[in-house]
């Protein structure tokens, strides 16, 4: 009997191939065999979107080669990138649609499955109205699929309720950049990072989560640039830091306001820039008055001298550059945290220049492209607002419908789950999203999923959420359908189709178009290929701030990516925004925005005196549906471990590798700890990539940022106790 490919790969990984040993069934490590072809494309995982060459043989991806000419990563890949090929041909791959019967799932043919989905949706909408059905999308989808899904929800289903997993990820940054600059994109290309004099890295574990960005930071350090790191944990990049600010979880806003206080107190602001290019400075200046270093230190736990130093370094250098990620955004004041950081950049004139600016480190593979063309509840293609009458008119014309037929804004991702829980939304169609693992308060999510009258999932693996579905439609891996994505820089890239879906599985876009046809809207979904969808998307985005009109697949290949906006075919694209001093607001100015400090949504008290924060490890990706199936990655980090400081551990009589029960106001889980000196003593950390008894999200809460609607994954109040042993089933 052949050894399953994963285990085989694991053996080779550990011991290397033994010359005399030939396993029954022959060597399964296909990555060592010659390829039929090499396909230049991009990694399916994070927002770095590294260039990679996939080795293809017998309609399977069997390995990879570096793609050294691709400028962003120059051949470098992280541990996930080099193992991503192991998904192809995985024994768990869904090869046909599945329909749930009382005895479990059975395979079905496409006609039966698609008809079942269409008829159940129609029936529920007839009884309860169009908004009784909601759609979940995802930012691992290509931009074509994200666009198609937005149109599908509005045109084929006529529902207000479509949102996506980027609501758990990029939206705080997105709202803040829209408010401050009028556009939701990182304004600088990554080549600017090495040119900075001072880098400020806030709430970002670059070594584990955006590994290629680490290289850009190192290059800056090699040139003599200084690095400031703000994180309750000393993540690996902190070894390269000149200044480390161990912020108490959820208090970054006071820290940023304190820094701006110092800058203004010492008269270090750039008056000429502020006068010429911005509005709103005076109100912001007044709002930071109370945040002297001593006050900010009391709130944040960061020494006042460090706050002074950080403010002065950033303001007095020639080129300051701020980078931020989910650490400051996954908070109920996520938007304000980002705005306060932008206020610092604006006050010091650090924007729109080579080597100076403010960027968000987008997380998901297509985190940028997936949030531009209408799968958000409040958005139409081209980053247009769904409430803007002119935008509705324009997009309706492209879609061949009346503006009134486009539904109004709907609920965001967590709000959709809450509406399901209270019985208002009865049916859900979900693609590229695993909410049972990734939404906060997982027990609540499980209760909600059980209440759905009808639930259908499009995925290539049986995710934990898909186990609740009535119909599972077997969709496609990233390498099975052509399309575009936008990387962390806003550089639009071409994903190549390397293979076709195995078995009866189908490409995602055709599944969506086929559903639209069966719902009676075929005339609006005539697409035979992603290229045809992209042609319509270009038109639909035209004139919006995310203008793709001038981008073609061929141009992307020629230029190795095109930065949007790119309004015409002879336009080269826009790597750096605002260079001409023009911001995207109608007044052409950048807007200072006032922020106001407040407590986190799940405050610590005597019963729950510690901060719990959650995040990632390098070898696992998001809800883990993909990486938990790749043996070589599982070996690197098989289980979630609780990071705890030795002082806190001593205080609770806990030693390294003990079983520890963590409790919050919602639930408790028991897991092994890891005693580390790299975390604040009042804070513990759990990576969130696992379901069930290992689920960090059983512990988290549903408080949302009022504007972005992002959950506060980074701050929960908790308590700990040593457990007698592992939980049952461990």
Interface with ligand MGD, residue 249, by CB under 6 A: yes
Q: Which stretch binds ligand SF4 (CB under 6 A): 27-35, 47-55, 161-169, 405-413?
A: 47-55
Q: Quick one: 678 exposed, middle or buried, by C-beta within 10 A (0-12, 13-18, 19+)?
A: middle
Which partner, ligand MGD, Mo ion, ligand SF4, none, binds residue 232 by CB below 5 to 8 Å per kind?
ligand MGD
Nearer to Mo ion, 363 or 687 (CB): 363
Nearer to ligand MGD, 278 or 438 (CB): 438
Nearer to ligand SF4, 49 or 509 (CB): 49
CA distance 108 to 578: 53
Among 50, 193, 345, 448, binds ligand SF4 (CB under 6 A): 50
Interface with ligand SF4, residue 61, by CB under 6 A: no
Contacts of 204 (CB under 8 A, 6+ apart): 210, 231, 323, 324, 325, 326, 327, 361
Nearer to ligand SF4, 80 or 641 (CB): 80
Interior CA angle at 172 toward 669 and 154, to 5°?
100
Interface with ligand SF4, residue 48, by CB under 6 A: yes
**H-helix or E-strand containing 342?**
helix 334-347
Which partner, Mo ion, ligand MGD, ligand SF4, none, binds residue 700 by CB below 5 to 8 Å per kind?
ligand MGD
Among 714, 717, 719, 720, binds ligand MGD (CB under 6 A): 714
Interface with ligand MGD, residue 700, by CB under 6 A: yes
| Subset of residues 160 to 219 that bind ligand SF4, contact rule: CB under 6 A | 211-212
Torsion 265-266-269-272 (CA) sign? positive
Q: Which stretch binds ligand MGD (CB under 6 A): 341-349, 427-435, 512-520, 568-576?
A: 427-435
| Subset of residues 494 to 513 that bind ligand MGD, contact rule: CB under 6 A | 508
Question: 488, 185 in Cβ contact below 8 A?
Answer: no
| Subset of residues 546 to 605 that bind ligand MGD, contact rule: CB under 6 A | none
Longest CA pairwise span in the chain (Å): 76
Q: Min. distance of Cβ 480 from ligand SF4 in angstroms? A: 17
Nearer to ligand MGD, 152 or 713 (CB): 713
CA distance 418 to 444: 9
Nearer to ligand SF4, 77 or 416 (CB): 77
Interface with ligand MGD, residue 230, by CB under 6 A: yes
Q: Is 88 left (phi over 0), alpha (psi -120 to 50) or beta?
A: beta
Question: 579, 356 in Cβ contact below 8 A?
Answer: no
- Binding-residue pattern over the window 152 to 171 for ligand MGD, x denoting contact by CB under 6 A: -------------x--xx--
Interface with ligand MGD, residue 622, by CB under 6 A: yes
Interior CA angle at 612 toward 611 and 614, to 5°?
140
Q: Min. distance of Cβ 466 from ligand MGD in angstroms? A: 7
Among 625, 670, 703, 708, binds ligand MGD (CB under 6 A): 625
Closest-CA residue to 505 (of 461, 536, 541, 444): 461
Q: Which stretch binds ligand MGD (CB under 6 A): 224-232, 530-538, 646-654, 718-726?
A: 224-232
Nearer to ligand MGD, 235 or 723 (CB): 235
| Subset of residues 652 to 711 that bind ligand SF4, contact rule: CB under 6 A | none
Count of residues in contact with ligand MGD, rule CB under 6 A: 64
CA distance 598 to 582: 33
- Binding-residue pattern over the window 166 to 185 for Mo ion, x denoting contact by CB under 5 A: ---x----------------
Got the DSSP string for 579-610? TTS--SSTTS-EE---------SS---SSS-E
Q: Min. distance of Cβ 649 from ligand MGD in angstroms? A: 18
Question: 453, 429 in Cβ contact below 8 A?
Answer: no
Closest-CA residue to 502 (of 34, 84, 96): 96
Among 10, 55, 60, 80, binds ligand SF4 (CB under 6 A): 80
Among 28, 53, 88, 204, binds ligand MGD (CB under 6 A): 204
Closest-CA residue to 350 (of 325, 324, 323, 315): 315
Which partner, Mo ion, ligand SF4, ligand MGD, none, binds residue 459 by CB below 5 to 8 Å per kind?
ligand MGD
Contacts of 157 (CB under 8 A, 6+ apart): 121, 125, 130, 133, 135, 519
Torsion 701-704-705-710 (CA) sign? positive
Give the chain's radius of gyration (CA, Å). 25
Count of residues in contact with ligand SF4, rule CB under 6 A: 12
Nearer to ligand SF4, 64 or 468 (CB): 64
Q: Min. distance of Cβ 126 from ligand MGD in angstroms? A: 28
Among 5, 63, 81, 370, binds ligand SF4 (CB under 6 A): 81
CA distance 363 to 48: 8
CA distance 328 to 355: 22
Burial of 22-39, coded b for 16+ CB within 10 Å and e otherwise, reads ebeeeebbbbeeebeebb
Nearer to ligand MGD, 664 or 700 (CB): 700
Interface with ligand MGD, residue 458, by CB under 6 A: yes
Interface with ligand SF4, residue 54, by CB under 6 A: no
Interface with ligand MGD, residue 673, by CB under 6 A: no
Contacts of 551 (CB under 8 A, 6+ apart): 484, 492, 538, 562, 564, 566, 573
Q: How long is the chain?
A: 730
Nearer to ligand MGD, 460 or 548 (CB): 460
Contacts of 505 (CB under 8 A, 6+ apart): 93, 94, 95, 96, 460, 474, 475, 476, 480
CA distance 513 to 519: 10
Interface with Mo ion, residue 363, by CB under 5 A: yes
Nearer to ligand SF4, 43 or 296 (CB): 43
Interface with ligand SF4, residue 77, by CB under 6 A: yes
CA distance 687 to 637: 10
Q: Which stretch binds ligand MGD (CB under 6 A): 171-179, 268-276, 496-504, 707-715?
A: 707-715
Interface with ligand MGD, residue 148, by CB under 6 A: no
Among 174, 475, 530, 550, binds ligand MGD (CB under 6 A): 475
List beta partners, residue 34: none
Q: Min. distance of Cβ 198 from ligand SF4 in angstroms? A: 25
Question: 638, 710 in Cβ contact below 8 A?
Answer: no
| Subset of residues 5 to 44 that bind ligand SF4, contact rule: CB under 6 A | 43
Q: State the Cα torsion 236-361-374-579 to the nearest 10°.
A: -170
CA distance 730 to 727: 6
Nearer to ligand MGD, 80 or 576 (CB): 80
Residues lying near Mo ion in the complex (CB under 5 A)? 169, 363
Residues lying near ligand MGD in the complex (CB under 6 A)? 46, 138, 140-141, 165, 168-169, 202-205, 208-210, 230-233, 235, 247, 249-250, 252, 325-328, 330, 363-364, 431-435, 438, 458-461, 463, 475-476, 478, 508, 613-616, 618, 620-623, 625-626, 685, 688, 696-697, 700, 713-715
Residues lying near ligand SF4 in the complex (CB under 6 A)? 43, 45-46, 48-50, 77-78, 80-81, 211-212
């Amino acid at each position: 009997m052949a050894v399953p490919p994963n285990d085989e790969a694991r053996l080779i990984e550990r011991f290397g191939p033994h010359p005399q040993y030939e396993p029954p069934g022959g060597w399964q490590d296909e990555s060592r065999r010659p390829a039929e072809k090499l396909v230049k494309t991009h990694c399916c995982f994070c927002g770095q979107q590294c260039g990679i060459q996939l080795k293809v043989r017998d309609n399977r991806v069997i390995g990879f080669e570096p793609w050294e000419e691709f400028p962003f990563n120059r051949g470098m890949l992280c541990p996930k990138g080099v193992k991503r090929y192991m998904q192809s041909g995985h024994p768990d791959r869904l090869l046909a649609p599945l329909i749930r019967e009382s005895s479990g799932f059975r395979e079905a043919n496409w006609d039966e499955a698609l008809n079942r989905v269409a008829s159940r949706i129609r029936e529920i909408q007839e009884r309860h109205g169009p908004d009784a059905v909601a759609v979940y999308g995802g930012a691992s989808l290509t931009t074509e699929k994200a666009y198609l899904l937005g149109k599908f929800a509005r045109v084929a289903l006529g529902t207000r309720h479509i949102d996506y997993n980027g609501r758990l990820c990029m939206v705080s940054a997105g709202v803040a950049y829209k408010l401050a600059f009028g556009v939701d994109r990182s304004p600088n290309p990554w080549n600017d990072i090495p040119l900075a004099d001072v880098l400020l890295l806030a709430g970002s574990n670059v070594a584990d989560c955006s590994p290629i960005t680490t290289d850009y930071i190192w290059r800056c350090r090699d040139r003599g640039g200084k690095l400031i790191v703000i994180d309750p944990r000393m993540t690996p990049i902190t070894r390269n830091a000149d200044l480390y600010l161990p912020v108490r979880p959820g208090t970054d806003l006071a820290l940023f306001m304190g820094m701006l206080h110092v800058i203004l107190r010492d008269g270090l602001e750039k008056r000429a820039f502020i006068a010429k290019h911005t509005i709103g400075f005076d109100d912001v200046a007044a709002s930071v008055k109370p945040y002297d270093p001593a006050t900010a230190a009391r709130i944040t736990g960061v020494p006042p001298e460090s706050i002074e130093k950080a403010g002065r370094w950033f303001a007095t250098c020639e080129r300051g550059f701020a980078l931020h990620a989910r650490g400051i955004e996954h908070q109920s004041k996520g938007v304000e945290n980002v705005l306060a950081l932008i206020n610092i950049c604006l006050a010091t004139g650090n924007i729109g220049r080579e080597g100076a600016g403010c960027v968000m480190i987008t997380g998901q593979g297509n985190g940028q492209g997936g949030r531009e063309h209408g799968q958000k509840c409040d958005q139409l293609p081209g980053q247009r607002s769904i409430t803007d009458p002119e935008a509705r008119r324009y997009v309706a014309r492209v879609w061949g419908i009346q503006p009134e037929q486009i539904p109004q804004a709907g609920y965001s991702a967590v709000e959709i789950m809450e509406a399901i829980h209270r019985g208002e939304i009865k049916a859900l169609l979900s693609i590229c999203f695993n909410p049972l693992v990734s939404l906060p308060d997982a027990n609540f999510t499980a209760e909600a999923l059980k209440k759905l009258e009808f639930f259908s999932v499009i995925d290539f693996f049986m995710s934990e959420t898909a186990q609740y579905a009535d119909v599972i439609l077997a969709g496609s891996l990233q390498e099975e359908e052509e399309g575009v994505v936008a990387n962390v820089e806003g550089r639009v890239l071409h994903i190549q189709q390397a293979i076709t879906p195995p078995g009866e599985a189908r490409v995602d876009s055709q599944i969506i178009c086929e559903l639209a046809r069966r719902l009676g809207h075929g005339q609006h979904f005539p697409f035979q290929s992603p290229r045809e969808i992209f042609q319509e998307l270009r038109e639909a985005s035209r004139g919006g701030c995310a203008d793709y009109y001038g981008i073609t697949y061929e141009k992307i290949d020629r230029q190795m990516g095109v930065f949007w906006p790119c309004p015409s075919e002879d336009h080269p694209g826009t790597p750096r925004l605002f260079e001409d001093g023009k911001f995207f607001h109608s007044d052409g100015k950048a807007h200072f925005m006032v922020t106001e400090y407040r407590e986190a949504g799940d405050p610590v008290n005597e019963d729950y005196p510690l901060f719990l924060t959650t995040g990632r490890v390098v070898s696992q990706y998001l809800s883990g549906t993909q990486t938990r199936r790749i043996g070589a990655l599982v070996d690197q980090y098989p289980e979630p471990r609780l990071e705890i400081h030795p002082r806190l551990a001593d205080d609770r009589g806990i030693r390294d590798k003990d079983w520890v029960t963590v409790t919050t106001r919602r639930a408790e889980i028991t897991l092994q700890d890891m005693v580390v000196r790299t975390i604040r003593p009042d804070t513990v950390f759990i990576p969130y990539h696992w379901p069930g008894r290992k689920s960090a999200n059983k512990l988290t809460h549903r408080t949302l940022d009022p504007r972005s609607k992002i959950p506060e994954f980074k701050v929960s109040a908790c308590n700990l106790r040593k457990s007698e042993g592992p939980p049952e089933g461990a």
